[in-house]
Amino acid sequence: MMNLSIEEIIEKVKAANLKEFGVYHEDIVDKWHKIIASAADWEGDMALAAGLDNCDTDRMLLVLLKEDADKVISGMLLAAKVLGAKHLELHVPEGESELRASLGEKCADQNIEVVEGFINTRAFRGKAIHHIETMKALAEIAEGCYEPGTLTVIKRDGKMNTAVKTAFGTKIADMIGDVSDVKGVMIGTKLYDKATALEVVIDENLSVGNGVITLISDKQCIIAEAEKLLLKERQNGCGKCTFCREGLGQLHTMTKEITLGQGKASYLDMMKEIGEAMAFSTLCSVGQTGAQFTLDSMEKFANEYTDHIKKKKCTANVCSAFMSIYIDPNTCTGCEECADVCPVDAIEGKSGYIHMIDEFECTKCGKCISACDEEAIIQTTGRVPKLPTRLVKVGKFKKR
């Protein structure tokens, strides 16, 4: 395989129409030509780094290093030959020390440094950064065994199924099964509404990002999901790019306030402006894609933002700020079971007396609802009926 000339490698890659996997979806041969053409403008020898995209917090594609490390390494050596790279780095995410150690011996034999942590895009300006899936595909192209496709998993209710190679030409609709309760589909970092997503075809022209296809159900609040993703990206970022650090912080704060019923209509324009600025003002995929789900959700699920901000309700009945929990005085038996499980002592009552919930202390965790065999504890987004304001014996409460 390494006996191939540079011209032969380029011709094989061109014939396979190979594009970069992950976020930076561009033709590989064109990418190589650009890097070589601009090499004189940058100091130091040519270098090559391979790894996951910095924004990839699911890390599903690490399975390539765990199961096909030899192919990833071979692909790196082929790319280095084309580019004339003298320094090679293979990156694994922070916290993957065991994987780093397992790769150490194989990579040392090929003079490849294994690094635990982000790919430093500043240090690799003018140099080559490739996704590990691209490197595996490159090795297979050279061997003559490449089958066009990409590794994907379906993520439903927070759980991922087994990763499978999905052939190019496969429709999303044929991959995800039952969609009766699905309202949105996230492919990599991009969010689609259900109708659009079902028509999407996995092919060489579609960036599937980290390979994770996440199904958003009707029971999930799209804004709460955006808040979770923004928090995850904030925790994942290195903090060196101002637009990424500050942008993710401000977007997360405003999104959180919307879920808490404190959102303002003016937030929407600010969030759009910040998100769009982040996409072109940051140096790596954390900032460049960190706001994408939020921006897509604002466009495709605008009604949920309107409901939260103007109507003060959560469309999916998820955000606790818009809920009330009360004890039905006509059903309560004064058993004290709910008071026993309340973690913040927000329930007042004693045996034989109708219990009452202090709405200011209540965190709406729902533990009392599960503990009540009489189903006397009600969660609602509607109007709360007249309730006792002092302890009253069971069966003695009368509305006035």
pLDDT tens digit at each of 400 positions of the chain: 678 999 999 999 999 999 999 999 999 999 999 999 988 888 889 999 999 999 999 999 999 999 999 999 999 999 999 999 999 999 999 999 999 999 998 899 999 999 999 999 999 999 999 999 999 999 999 999 999 999 999 999 989 989 999 999 999 999 998 999 999 999 999 999 999 999 999 999 999 999 999 999 999 999 999 999 999 999 999 999 999 999 999 999 999 999 999 999 999 999 999 999 999 999 999 999 999 999 999 999 999 999 999 999 999 989 988 988 999 999 999 999 999 999 999 999 999 999 999 988 998 888 999 999 999 999 888 888 999 999 999 999 986 5
Looking up tokens 């780093």 gives 100
Q: What is the pTM of this model?
A: 0.87
The pLDDT, as a whole number, for residue 1 is: 66
The pLDDT, as a whole number, for residue 203 is: 93
CB half-sphere exposure, 366, CA atoms < 13 A: 7
* Residue 211 CB coordination number (10 Å): 24
The pLDDT, as a whole number, for residue 400 is: 52
DSSP-derived pairing of the beta strands 128-131 and 47-51: parallel
The pLDDT, as a whole number, for residue 3 is: 87
Distances (CA, A) of 161 to 6, 58, 157, 166, 270: 39, 13, 11, 13, 37
Q: Which distant-in-sequence residues (6+ apart) come within 8 Å of 221 by Cβ?
A: 259, 304, 314, 315, 316, 318, 319
Q: What is the separation of C-alpha 188 from the centre of its chain, rounded to a whole number of angstroms?
A: 7
Please give the angle made by the CA atoms of 217, 220 and 222, to the nearest 5 degrees: 105
Distances (CA, A) of 312 to 37, 183, 265, 319, 320: 56, 21, 12, 10, 11
The pLDDT, as a whole number, for residue 44 is: 84
* Cα–Cα distance, 134 to 76 (Å, whole number): 9
Closest CA to 366 of 315, 331, 317, 303: 317
- Write out the two tokens for 225: 């999901």
The pLDDT, as a whole number, for residue 49 is: 98
- Write out the two tokens for 113: 């440094």
The pLDDT, as a whole number, for residue 105 is: 87
HEC string of the chain? Answer: CCCCCHHHHHHHHHHHCCECCCCCCCEHHHHHHHHHHHHHHCCCCCEEEEECCCCCCCCHHHHHHHHCHHHHHHHHHHHHHHHCCCEEEEEECCCCHHHHHHHHHHHHCCCEEEEECCCCCCCCCCCEEEEHHHHHHHHHHHHCCCCCEEEEEEEECCEECCCEEEECCEEHHHCCCCCCCEEEEEECCEEEEHHHHCCCEECCCCCCCCCEEEEEECCCCHHHHHHHHHHHHHHHCCCCCHHHHHHHHHHHHHHHHHHCCCCCCHHHHHHHHHHHHHHHHCCCHHHHHCCHHHHHHHHHCHHHHHHHHHHCCCCCCCCHHHCEEEECCCCCCCCCHHHHHCCCCCEECCCCECCEECCCCCCCCCHHHHHCCCCCEEEECCCCCCCCCCCCECCCCCCC
The pLDDT, as a whole number, for residue 210 is: 96
